């Protein structure tokens, strides 16, 4: 039975409220009595108001409490806490308009009240006022974080506690699913953990709620970039520029996005225009140089990069851009300049490793192989320290693909996909020769070379999320792959997405994204008539060439010799599986054989693709098509076999790579190994 109780002056208010909150579940009447007593003496006490409303909810007397809150709001019109609790209660009882009126009064009184802005946004959205809701959510994001003290703690957690931070934020977002600060912070944490798809969802949801939230859109563009979703990144940059057309950072991003999406001529014209307004802007010049390289204007590209370095000799990306031309040779003065910059302890990490890769290339060209390897080792170590990578993720993915896409399963889905014969997938690890194979095919009059397009990973990621959702809801483990999916529709979706990159009416097109080897099962199921060409290069040559390469993304297996070996083995493992499951479906090109005697290998390649032989395929280096990969300058020259043996100069330092490669090193060029 509830005992009578009255407030004594000797009791601290916080202690009274704490004890009252403890009574809430077992004695809500007593809790209510204490809250009312506190409010007699302190009508503006917000925690007492919250306790009173909570006690009323437990007792089912929300109407009585609403009458009290309305009376308080009338008697104390400047009391934001009363209006806030009244707004919550009205919303709970289905009075949307009344809730909005109360909440608007709260934000008039306290413009930085994030809880009121958030719930006001929810109510406006429920009434169909999208613009008003977006404005409220934006105001909530910009307001103070007085109700998000837990999130302040989350942002200070170290990398070793990120899982804890994510769990805390996930619980917070369950209670407040439209909280922009929560969504934004979760997105940032996911970026720190390299969980880019999760980050993408967080930022996308934040932008649904508040399209004008520039910070979220910038980070959204970043995670799209990290996933090579160039077209969507291009669209987001366009939106940013609409708001700030003169913003130099956005202009640089747009210049870069134009060439990444294959709009090479537009990229050059855009850079010409913005450089005309700001001729010594180094960021614009770097984007310009990238576009010039892609279209083969190498001499002009070098001049632009030289001009950047004349003003900013500590700019590592410019030094690496020169090295990444592959055919460029540094002068002794260049090497001395880079060495001097590297001796400066204040040089930023990014410029440091870019310069170390560039200096490694310069030393290798001078046959100073020990010094070159040391620069490569230092650069790789620095990148690896910035972006931890777990090689087991791809290994586990390959194991799952082999299990799911068995020979029997592939027989059951045969013929259910899209029958188009347009795509030719050129699949090989980076630096394996896949760019050369694509260049040969794209020199044919019937084939358009699209380079590295991301249509397939986007579809695969959506399917994976659907499977994971099914697993979480059903709790019965993963369903069979593609269960319930319309395979023909998925194939048509791929063609539509790839079609966004097409610029000609040629009958066939190539897709050369290296990581498509992880989606071989999906290709076989949704595009049963597509051609699949895999390119293989000697394991030591291929892995060491990747080790010397600085990729657009810092995340990946490329910066550690043992991780590279595992990556190579996973590639061989999954290709071997599908080679056995669907004999004859995949055509294999061995890089060493191609460069040793090109014509018979090219004829076999064209025969597999059902293409008549054309002499232009032998003269692939004469093609003027833009090439966006690191091999752009190399494939504009006739093939040369001496590159096959370059790794031997570094063999004494490659024992860890040899040991980690295991059987695939012994069996090459045959598939198999430890699969």
Tokens of 392: 């087991």
| CA gap 530, 290 in Å, rounded | 32
In CATH, which of 3.20.20.210, 3.40.50.300, 3.40.630.30, 3.30.70.930 is domain 417-474+487-667?
3.40.50.300
Asked if residues 649 and 367 have their Cβ atoms less than 8 Å apart, the reply is yes
What's the pLDDT score for residue 261?
Answer: 80
| CA gap 211, 232 in Å, rounded | 15
Nearest-CA neighbor of 430 among 592, 548, 253, 332? 548
First to last CA, the chain: 72
Cis check for the bond before 669: say yes or no (omega within 30 of 0). Answer: yes
Q: Half-sphere exposure (CA, 13 Å, Cβ side) for 499?
A: 10
Q: Half-sphere exposure (CA, 13 Å, Cβ side) for 434?
A: 30
pLDDT in tens, 632-667: 444 445 555 556 678 899 999 999 999 999 999 999
249-255 long-range contacts, CB within 8 A, separation 24+ = 249/283, 251/284, 252/281, 252/283, 252/284, 252/286, 252/287, 253/221, 255/284, 255/287, 255/288, 255/291
Which H or E run includes 393? Answer: helix 392-404
Instruction: Give the CA dihedral 534, 536, 542, 545, nearest 10 degrees.
Output: -50
**Rg over CA atoms, the chain:** 31
446-467 burial string, b = 16+ CB within 10 Å, else e?
ebbbbbbbbbbbbbbbebbeeb
Q: What is the mean pLDDT of each run of 10 residues along the chain (675 residues)?
A: 43 50 64 70 64 69 72 73 78 82 82 76 80 73 50 52 69 78 86 84 89 89 83 91 90 86 84 89 90 86 95 96 91 96 95 97 96 97 85 91 92 92 95 92 93 87 70 47 83 90 87 92 95 96 94 79 95 96 95 92 96 91 56 49 78 95 91 53
Q: Where are the alpha helices (DSSP H) in 506-555?
A: 520-526, 539-547
Asked if residues 270 and 254 have their Cβ atoms less than 8 Å apart, the reply is yes
What's the pLDDT score for residue 542?
Answer: 95
What's the pLDDT score for residue 2?
Answer: 43
Asked if residues 634 and 439 have their Cβ atoms less than 8 Å apart, the reply is no
The dihedral region occupied by 405, where left means phi > 0, alpha psi between -120 and 50, and beta the remainder, is beta
Fold for 13-142, please state it. Answer: 1.25.40
**CB within 8 A of 564, min separation 6: which ones?**
543, 546, 547, 557, 558, 657
How many residues belong to the chain? Answer: 675
What's the pLDDT score for residue 14?
Answer: 45
Provide the CA 334 distance to its chain's centre, in angstroms.
35
What's the pLDDT score for residue 675?
Answer: 39
Domain with CATH 3.40.50.300 in the chain: 417-474+487-667
pLDDT in tens, 575-592: 999 999 999 999 999 999
Nearest-CA neighbor of 445 among 606, 264, 638? 606
**Structure letter (DSSP) for residue 4:** P
462-467 long-range contacts, CB within 8 A, separation 24+ = 463/490, 463/522, 465/197
**CB within 8 A of 167, min separation 6: which ones?**
none
**DSSP structure string for 550-578:** --S-S-SGGG-HHHHHHHHHHHHHHHHHH
Nearest-CA neighbor of 280 among 323, 240, 309? 309
Angle among Cα 265, 266, 269 to the nearest 5 degrees reads 90
Domain with CATH 1.25.40.10 in the chain: 13-142
| CA gap 393, 395 in Å, rounded | 5
């Amino acid at each position: 039975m509830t005992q009578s109780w009255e407030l004594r002056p000797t009791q601290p208010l916080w202690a009274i409220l704490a004890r009252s909150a403890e009574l809430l579940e077992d004695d809500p009447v007593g809790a209510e009595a204490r809250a009312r007593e506190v409010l007699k003496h302190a009508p503006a006490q917000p925690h007492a108001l919250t306790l009173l409303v909570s006690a009323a909810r437990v007792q089912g007397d929300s109407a009585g409490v609403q009458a009290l809150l309305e009376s308080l709001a009338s008697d104390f019109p400047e009391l934001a806490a009363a209006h806030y609790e009244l707004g919550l209660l009205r919303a709970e009882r289905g009075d949307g308009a009344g809730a909005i009126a109360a909440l608007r009064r709260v934000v008039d009184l306290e413009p930085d009240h994030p809880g009121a802005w958030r719930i006001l946004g929810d109510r406006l959205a429920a009434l169909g006022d999208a613009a008003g809701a977006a404005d409220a959510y934006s105001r909530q994001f910009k307001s103070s974080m007085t109700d998000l003290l837990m999130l302040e703690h989350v942002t200070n957690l170290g990398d070793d506690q990120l899982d804890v931070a994510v769990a805390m934020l996930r619980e917070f977002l369950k209670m407040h699913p439209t909280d922009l600060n929560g969504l934004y912070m979760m997105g940032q944490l996911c970026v720190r953990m390299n969980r880019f798809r999760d980050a993408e969802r967080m930022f996308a949801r934040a932008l649904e709620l508040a399209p004008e939230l520039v910070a979220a859109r910038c980070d959204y563009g970043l995670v799209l970039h990290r996933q090579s979703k160039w077209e969507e990144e291009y669209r987001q940059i366009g939106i940013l520029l609409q708001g700030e057309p003169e913003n130099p950072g956005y202009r640089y991003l747009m210049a870069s996005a134009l060439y990444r999406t294959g709009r090479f001529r537009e990229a050059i014209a855009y850079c010409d225009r913005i450089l005309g307004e700001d001729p010594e802007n180094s960021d614009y010049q770097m984007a310009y140089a990238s576009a010039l390289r892609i279209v083969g204007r190498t001499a002009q590209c070098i001049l632009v990069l030289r001009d950047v370095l004349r003003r900013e000799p500590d700019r590592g990306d410019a030094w690496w851009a020169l090295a990444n031309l592959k055919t460029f040779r540094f002068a002794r003065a260049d090497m001395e300049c880079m060495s001097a910059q590297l001796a400066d302890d204040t040089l930023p990490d990014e410029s440091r490793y870019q310069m170390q890769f560039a200096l490694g290339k310069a030393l290798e060209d001078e046959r100073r192989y020990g010094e070159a390897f040391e620069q490569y080792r230092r650069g790789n170590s620095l990148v690896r320290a910035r972006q931890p990578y777990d090689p087991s993720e791809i290994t586990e993915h390959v194991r799952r693909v082999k299990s799911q896409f068995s020979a029997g399963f592939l027989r059951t889905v045969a013929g259910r996909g899209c029958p188009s014969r347009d795509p030719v997938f050129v699949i090989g690890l980076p630096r394996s020769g896949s760019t050369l194979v694509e260049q040969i095919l794209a020199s044919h009059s019937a084939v358009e070379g699209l380079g590295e397009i991301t249509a397939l990973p986007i579809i695969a990621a959506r399917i994976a999320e659907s499977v994971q959702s099914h697993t979480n809801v059903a709790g019965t483990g993963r369903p069979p792959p593609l269960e319930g999916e319309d395979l023909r529709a998925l194939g048509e979706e791929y063609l539509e997405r790839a079609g966004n990159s097409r610029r000609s009416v040629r009958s066939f097109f190539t897709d050369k994204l290296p990581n498509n080897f992880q989606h071989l099962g999906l290709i076989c199921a949704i595009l049963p008539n597509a051609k699949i060409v895999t390119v293989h290069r000697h394991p030591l040559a291929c892995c060491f060439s990747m080790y010397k390469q600085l990729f657009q993304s810092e995340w990946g297996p490329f910066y550690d010799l043992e991780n590279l070996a595992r990556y190579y083995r996973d590639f061989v493992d999954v290709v071997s599986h599908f080679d056995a499951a669907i004999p004859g479906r995949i055509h294999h090109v061995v890089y060493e054989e191609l460069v040793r005697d090109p014509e018979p290998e090219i004829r076999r390649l064209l025969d597999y693709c059902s293409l008549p032989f054309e002499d232009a395929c032998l003269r692939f280096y004469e093609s003027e098509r833009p090439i966006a990969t690191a091999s752009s300058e190399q494939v504009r020259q006739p093939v040369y076999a001496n590159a096959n043996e370059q790794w031997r100069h570094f063999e004494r330092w490659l024992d860890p790579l040899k040991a980690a490669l295991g059987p695939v090193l012994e069996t090459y060029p045959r598939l198999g190994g430890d699969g």
